[in-house]
Chain A
Amino acid sequence: MSLDIALWNMENGFVEGLIRGLRSTFLTDTEYANLKEGGKRAPGGAGGGSQKEDFEDMRLSLQETDYGTFLAAEPSLDPKLIGLRATAKWVREMRYVRSTATGDLAKFLDFVSYEYMIDNILDLIKAATSSQTVDAQAVVAGCHPLGACARARGYPSASSAHRLSPALPSSIPCRRHRLQACSKSL
Chain B
Amino acid sequence: MKSVLAFEDLGEDFHALYRTVLVDTPVGKYFTQFLREVAEESAASDIEHVRATFAEIPMPLIENSVKKYYLEDFYAFCEGVGGETAAVMCALLSARADITSVNITVNSLHTDLSRVRSRMVWS
Contacts and interface: CB of A to CB of B under 8 A. Distances in A.
A181 B24 contact: no
Interface in A129-186: 129, 151, 154-155, 162-163, 165-170, 172-176, 178-179, 181-186
Interface in B7-52: 7-8, 10, 13-32, 44-47
B3 interface: yes
Interface in A93-140: 104, 107-108, 110-111, 114-115, 117-118, 121-122, 124-126, 128-129
Interface residues of B, number: 45
B90 to A, nearest CB: 13
A118 B22 CA distance: 11
Contacts of B13: 128, 162, 165
A110 B78 CA distance: 12
B47 A121 contact: no
A107 B74 CA distance: 10
Interface of B: 2-3, 5-8, 10, 13-32, 44-47, 54-55, 59, 62-63, 66-67, 70, 73-74, 77-78, 81, 85
Interface of A: 104, 107-108, 110-111, 114-115, 117-118, 121-122, 124-126, 128-129, 151, 154-155, 162-163, 165-170, 172-176, 178-179, 181-186
Given A163-B6, A179-B44, A181-B45, 10 more contacts: A110-B26, A128-B14, A165-B13, A166-B20, A169-B25, A170-B20, A172-B24, A173-B26, A179-B29, A185-B46
